[in-house]
Amino acid sequence: MPATTPIPPSIILDCDPGHDDAIAIVVAAQHTNLLGITTVAGNAPLTLTTRNALIMTDLLGIDTPVHSGAERPLVAPPRHAGYVHGASGLDGADLPEPSRPVDSNHAIDFIIDTCRNTEGVWLVPIGPLTNIALALRAAPDLAGRIAGISLMGGGTFGNRTAAAEFNLWADPEAAAMVFDYGGPLMMSGLDVTHQFQATPDRVDKVRALPGRLAELLADLLVFFSHTYTTRHDDMGGAAVHDPIAVMALTHPELFTVVRRHVVIEVWGEHTRGMTLIDQRSLIERRPPNCDMLTHVDADAAFDVIVRAIAAFSR
Ligand code: BDR
Ligand code: CA
């Protein structure tokens, strides 16, 4: 029997680059049918996350359309993560200026039109969920049209607060809408992404690749890891969160997944933005709405990243 090549999933990557978003763009460019990149305010203001996405497409030499979206969360005040990613969102490397302008400032329309015109699109949000919530609210038919949503966010512990992970904390109302949308949902939260660290030996594998892309990504990972190792007392490198939401689709064999019912806390004084994960064994617990990733084969997953970078290295 001839080996069959799995069909790459068609995805829209909704991101706020961001060091780990930049790595996710590389993996998505190599392993998916990347229909478009949409940007959202998150790690940095929208102008910067959009700029960073455009720079990444230049470095990869791809002409994937980039559309910018929401400038701020639905309700929460805009808050960024310069303490992790630097003021630019991608501090730590001498990046070039983007060579082209953004394709449009209408990411929501792009998401809606693409999901209506293409069968079986996966939405892969790896920043605050503002764009995805706005698209689902403007076009409720999307919930039944898309293949699903694979997102990075949440977990049984937080990072921005004790309870809440940054992406969901940044726009809890949007997150609540997405977790309640009713279709297939995959959640790559901190439980799995903190197992996936850019340790020095792994960063060395990137730096050993030829060419400018690898050198710049290695510089970015060094900066990103520095913020993690200096802000945590138990980490050997940055948690490379965002590519996990892509690899959950392209390399499912690398992950352990459990089915859970998950809702977003929007009211709690100390818990706003938290994923409340129903871990009970009681038979009257609510039916699962989510595939939650719990474990990753970190060495194998990092090798996927290294090979993806190598494929664009020249
Ligand atoms: C998430 O927040 C951002 O800083 C990262 O890009 C990632 O998407 C991790 O909490
Ligand atoms: Ca991100």
pLDDT tens-digit readout, 220-255 = 999 999 999 999 999 999 999 999 999 999 999 999
- Which pair of structure tokens corresponds to residue 177? 């809408």
Decide if 1 is inside a domain. no
- For 14, 16, 54, 256, 266, the CA distances from 274, given in Å and listed in that order, are 21, 20, 31, 22, 8
Render pLDDT for 118-156 as a digit per residue (tens, 0 to 9).
999 999 999 999 999 999 999 999 999 999 999 999 999
Question: Alpha carbon of 284 to those of 260, 279, 280: distances in Å?
Answer: 13, 12, 9
Residue 4, domain member (yes or no): no
Predicted confidence at residue 278, as pLDDT, reads 97
Please check whether residue 3 lies inside any domain of the structure: no
Pairing of strands 290-296, 275-278: unpaired
* Total residues belonging to the chain: 314
Quick one: what percent of the chain has pLDDT higher than 70?
A: 98
Q: Is residue 195 part of a domain?
A: yes
Query: Among the atoms of ligand 1, which is closest to the Cα of residue 166?
Result: 10
* C-beta of 191 in contact with ligand 1 (< 6 A): no
Name the domain count of the chain. Answer: 1
Residue 5 lies in a domain: no
Is the minimum distance from the CB of 166 to ligand 1 under 6 angstroms? yes
Say how far apart CA 145 and CA 116 lie, in whole Å.
Answer: 7
Q: What is the pTM of this model?
A: 0.97
CB-ligand 1 contact for 21 (6 Å cutoff): yes
The domain that contains 54 carries what CATH number? 3.90.245.10
The pLDDT of residue 6 is 79
With respect to residue 302, please indicate whether it lies within any of the assigned structural domains. Answer: yes
Given 194, 241, 251, 295, the catalytic residue: 241
Mutate to test the pocket of ligand 1, among 160, 193, 241 (most ligand atoms within 8 A of CB): 241
Nearest-atom number in ligand 1 for the CA of 16 is: 6
pLDDT of amino acid 1: 47
For residue 264, the enclosing domain spans: 10-312
Q: Is residue 29 part of a domain?
A: yes
Could you tell me which of 62, 53, 70, 158 has the C-alpha nearest to residue 107? 70
84 lines ligand 1 (CB under 6 A): yes
Nearest to 132 by CA among 30, 301, 14, 259: 14
Among protein residues, the one with the nearest Cα to ligand 1's atom 4 is 43
| Ligand 1 close to Cβ of residue 170 (< 6 A) | no
Has residue 117 been placed in a domain?
Answer: yes
